[in-house]
Amino acid sequence: MYFVTPYLAVGRRADAEDAENLAAHGIKSILSLCALVRPDGIARQLSMDIKDRAALPAEFIGEAMGFLNAQIQAGRKVLVHCEMGISRSASIAVGYLHGFHGMPLEQALAKVREANPMADPHPLLLESMRNYFYRPAEAVDLSGNENPLGPSTLAVAAINGAVARLHRYPDKDASALRDKLAARLGVAVEQIILGNGSCELIDHLARACLSPGDEAIIPLPSFPVYRSATRAAGGTVVPVPMPEGAYCVEGILEKITPHTRLVMIGSPNNPTGTILGETELQQLVDGLPEQVWLLVDEAYRDYVDAAEIADAMAWVAKGKNVIVMRSFSKAYGLAGLRIGYGIAPAWIARAIDRLRQNYNTNSMAQLAAAAALDDAAHLARTRANNASELQRVQRRLSEMGASYIPSRANFVLVQAESDIAERLDRAGIKVKDMARFGAPEYFRVSIGLPEENTRFLDEFENILQESREISQPVFA
């Protein structure tokens, strides 16, 4: 018999039948993989008659592992043996080392072979061990552009401290949060509007601005809510292409008609990740007739350096019909609470705010948002993870020959066959199919934690490789 650990030996039937030998080695328990009468001096025995060179059933493995562990935990030395050789007992020892010592299966096998170089579990036996221990990796969700670091701990603490007051209605005007935002942004409180997510504000903006027959100019591809809000308000969507994902201000201005009332721009844009530069915004604002409102949706602004992105707030300050919208769902990690805000000239803010219900933002969301604004460290970590990982993801996409639009946000728009999102999903990686966004040949992948991004990249590379192999001509 051969000791794999001080408490676990593997051997043959002859070893188990030799009572003196067992006593000499201090063996107190036996796991028999064949029919065997209990030898003298053995306190406990588990006998299982299992055919040689056949896959081991999961129930058997479970019972064997449980027996081994219980005996060893009780301080008894155990022998695992079988009829013919040590092939089955070795595979059980491998399973034990893996299951209870956390050793990778290959390493466990090496350790068993080290105890006895003849130990050579049949591949079928090892396969049954692999199947028994296999746990599908947890799915990675890179479809929602959420914050992979989670919420700010200050926000969580603020909520925890207030749960006892859940029976009270929230402050319908969210005064504390609006005051805080106004002070930070250097605007009047009347210019701040709060929504149940910025989605609600986009909806109310469209309703405040558009009447049936009015037109909203919307670059494509873009966030689908711009179009759904326009249609819900009775407006007409006027799409403008974004060549190679970039904004074309001339293209937008060319679409203006006497019916135009609204232009909706995301900066960074979802899903292209492109931003509007200072000169482009100036050109756009200068070119818009007075009756047209301009939405600059900055849900992803926190991922971009302020020096690089157009300062849309400056146009609000100048009294132009510009509405800036921001969200706590992305860099602040509060997507589940639904809270976002907008900044606009006071008369526009009033027109939008009139459309909301009294308690549109809940008390937890108000508190968490106010606390998250103070969590500079969480924001810095979020930005740092995104900056380095965005660069790494894009670099590897380039290396594998994938086409994508260089992004400034926390996601990347990648060109691929239309079934790729589904294939990634089957491999446990959720990405966003882009058909609804107006880009059917693409998917969007959010930037996650480093290990999540690596899983996506490896899986995507495998799929690309497979597709390339399949598209090779079969006959030269």
Ligand X SMILES: Cc1ncc(COP(=O)(O)O)c(C=O)c1O
- The three-state secondary structure class of 455 is helix
Q: Which of residues 301-330 bind ligand X (CB under 6 A)?
A: 327, 329
Strand partners, 475: none
Rounded to an integer, what distance in angstroms lies between the CA atom of residue 171 and that of residue 358?
Answer: 9
Smallest separation, CB 222 to ligand X (Å): 8
Size of the site for ligand X (CB under 6 A): 13
**Least Å from the CB of residue 421 to ligand X:** 17
CA neighbours within 13 Å on the CB side: how many for 1?
A: 33
Rounded Cα distance between 219 and 239, Å, is 5
The alpha helices in 161-210, defined as continuous H runs, are 175-185, 198-209
Question: What is the distance between the alpha carbons of residues 208 and 210, in angstroms, rounded to a whole number?
Answer: 6
* CB distance 94 to 56 below 8 Å: no
Smallest gap from Cβ 283 to ligand X, in A, equals 22
Q: What is the DSSP letter of 267?
A: S
Is the Cβ of residue 94 or residue 177 nearer to ligand X in the bound state? 177
Instruction: Tell me: does residue 270 bind ligand X (CB under 6 A).
Output: yes
* Contact between 335 and ligand X per CB under 6 A: yes
Q: Which residue has the tokens 């690309």?
A: 464
Residue closer to ligand X (CB basis): 39 or 197: 197
Secondary structure class of 217 (helix, strand, coil): strand
Q: Which is nearer to ligand X, 274 or 327 (CB)?
A: 327
Give the footprint of ligand X on residues 187-246 (CB under 6 A).
197-199, 223
For ligand X, give the closer residue by CB, 29 or 272.
Answer: 272
Is the CB of 152 or the CB of 270 nearer to ligand X? 270
Q: How many CB atoms lie within 10 A of CB 117?
A: 9
- Are 284 and 249 within 8 A, CB to CB? yes
Q: Does position 366 bind ligand X by CB under 6 A? A: no
Out of 89, 128, 145, 410, the only residue in the binding site for ligand X (CB under 6 A) is: 145
The structure tokens 């201005």 sit at: 253
Report in angstroms how near the CB of residue 348 gets to ligand X at its nearest. Answer: 18
Taking the least distance from each CB to ligand X, the nearer of 96 and 328 is 328
Q: Which of 99, 170, 333, 340 binds ligand X (CB under 6 A)?
A: 340
- Nearest approach in angstroms of CB 361 to ligand X is 11
Q: Which residues bind ligand X (CB under 6 A)?
A: 145, 197-199, 223, 266, 270, 297, 299, 327, 329, 335, 340
